[in-house]
Amino acid sequence: MNDPLKVAIAGLGTVGAGAFRVLQSHGALLAERCGRPLAIAAVSARDQSRDRGLDLQNVSWFDDPVQMAAEADADVVVELIGGADGVAKKICETAIQHGRHVVTANKALLAHHGLALARQAEAKSVVLAYEAAVAGGIPIIKALREGLAGNRLQRAYGILNGTCNFILTEMRRSGREFDAVLKEAQALGYAEADPSFDVDGVDAAHKLAILASVAFGCEMNFAGVYTEGIRHISALDIGYAEELGYRIKLLGLARLTEDGIEQRVHPCMVPLSAPIAHVEGVDNAIVADGDFIESAMFEGRGAGAGPTASAIVADLADIARGTRLPTFSVPVEKLAKIPAAPMARHKGPYYVRLMLLDRPGVIAEVTAVLRDENVSMESMLQRQRAPGEAVPVVLTTHETREAAMVQALEKIDCLDTVVESPRMIRIEALHSAAEPKG
């Protein structure tokens, strides 16, 4: 049998320990599938005395993960410490500099420094692999880069954050508001003590920047991702969405347009006929639209020790087999330089909820503003009457340019009959499972 692939793991938290267990428990299976053993040669973590339930005999321990990346007797370094800069970045740079392959689950690092690291890895003829960085156990990088290589992709979108999907799912099922469900998500371990990274859309934006680069063979542009979270979504909006035939999901969407590449993360009204509308709880799902496949959806667990460890080991298996592919579909020097499409030029239908004082003429004031901004209204719902009191009024629009919609809502917000800022959610025209595109 061939020499083993020697692996060094930086970080023995939930994911690192999970990857360690997969490598040890499935050693024989991996050796059979890869044609050589995968052996854990070294590890680095903060506290060597801590009992992690791992068999660390015959494994070299390093207190300093950067030193491990430079000196360990290893072919590949797995970076599982996290963070866009600092020690995680130094580990990857050091490993590549010393001719070692790198596997990482660090989407923030890749979103900010992926191009530079890929350029360094290609120059050293080593692999920079990151299947675990996007959608956990769903092999979406392999699918886009290999399985769909025969397609010119037009759009990629999906549910990229399990925390937000859990919160929106439970708000719909229970009728509770965001803050109450967020506390439940934190108690269950689905959300951090500081949930900003997830609920404000940053985590999904990191993943979308990576997906867009792989899908379209373009330079990564995290700064060009429009990002909006879910804090402003209310149980009232979720109820109206169901009544209108939609479900609210936080989506990351990327597509090529005449203005450049459009990358946006925000809550969406998704038609109930679209399969992704029914992806619930902490699951993730990604849809790729291509010229020959039409549309393909990939669904599964997007986080957690098991799914993420599975993706890490999949990358290690590819390295053990000798698979060598460009980091982002094509070599770094051939990645297209595509400008970011301005969000103001986005066009689509919109859902708007207003809280208006129930007075004569108030609807006329609103419709006059929409008319002046060339916003065409499709429908309006007003279920309550309470003269002199605030009542919810919901309207949907025909396809409208974002800039016009924003301008209209700013003017509506200034009306003295509007008692809280308008709530706007973009409606996405996604295709149903039985509906062919085109």
The DSSP output letter for 228 is -
295 in the same domain as 161: yes
| Contact between residue 252 and residue 158 where contact means Cβ atoms under 8 Å apart | yes
Mean pLDDT by 10 residues, the chain (438 residues): 90 92 93 95 89 86 96 97 93 98 97 97 97 94 95 96 96 96 93 94 97 96 97 96 96 95 97 96 95 94 88 96 93 95 96 91 93 94 75 95 97 93 94 53
Q: How many residues does the chain have?
A: 438
151 in the same domain as 219: yes
Look at residue 432 in the predicted model and tell me its pLDDT.
Answer: 66
Say how far residue 150 (Cα) sits from the centre of its chain: 24
What's the token pair of residue 314? 């999949």
Look at residue 437 in the predicted model and tell me its pLDDT.
Answer: 46
CATH code for position 369 = 3.30.70.260
State the CB neighbour count (10 A cutoff) for residue 264: 24
Helix (H, G, I), strand (E, B) or coil at 391: strand
Residue 63 lies in a domain: yes
How far is Cα 178 from Cα 162, in angstroms, rounded to an integer? 15
Residue 317 lies in a domain: no
Residue 432 lies in a domain: no
What's the token pair of residue 79? 């970076």
What's the token pair of residue 12? 């023995």
Residue 436 lies in a domain: no
State the CB neighbour count (10 A cutoff) for residue 112: 20
292 in the same domain as 380: no
279 in the same domain as 230: yes
Element containing residue 260 per DSSP (H, E): strand 260-271
179 in the same domain as 194: yes
148 in the same domain as 67: no
How far is Cα 91 from Cα 39, in angstroms, rounded to an integer? 20
User: Last residue of a domain, which of 249, 272, 301?
Assistant: 301
Look at residue 436 in the predicted model and tell me its pLDDT.
Answer: 44
Please confirm, yes or no, whether 249 is among the known catalytic residues: no
125 in the same domain as 100: yes
Catalytic residue, from 89, 107, 142, 207: name it: 207
User: Last residue of a domain, which of 272, 301, 330?
Assistant: 301
**Domain of 241, in residue numbers:** 140-301
96 in the same domain as 14: yes
Residue listed under structure tokens 């954050």: 161
Look at residue 393 in the predicted model and tell me its pLDDT.
Answer: 93
DSSP notation for 48-113:
TTS--S---TT-EEES-HHHHHHHSS-SEEEE-S--SSHHHHHHHHHHHHTT-EEEE--HHHHHHH
292 in the same domain as 370: no
With CA atoms as reference, report the closest residue to 291 among 129, 91, 150, 105.
150
Alpha-carbon separation of residue 28 from 3, 361, 425 (angstroms): 14, 75, 51
CATH code for position 73 = 3.40.50.720
Element containing residue 249 per DSSP (H, E): strand 246-257
Residue 315 lies in a domain: no
90 φ, ψ to 5°? -65, -40
Residue 160 lies in a domain: yes
226 φ, ψ to 5°? -70, 130
392 in the same domain as 269: no
The DSSP output letter for 36 is S
- Residue type for 66, please? V
354 in the same domain as 221: no
Residue 312 lies in a domain: no
261 in the same domain as 235: yes
How far is Cα 59 from Cα 42, in angstroms, rounded to an integer? 5
Q: How many domains does the chain divide into?
A: 3
Alpha-carbon separation of residue 394 from 52, 206, 263, 266, 332 (angstroms): 53, 32, 27, 19, 47
What does pTM read for this prediction? 0.93
Look at residue 433 in the predicted model and tell me its pLDDT.
Answer: 58
187 φ, ψ to 5°? -65, -35
Residue 28 lies in a domain: yes
How far is Cα 207 from Cα 367, in angstroms, rounded to an integer? 39
User: Last residue of a domain, which of 301, 336, 365?
Assistant: 301
How far is Cα 329 from Cα 91, in angstroms, rounded to an integer? 24
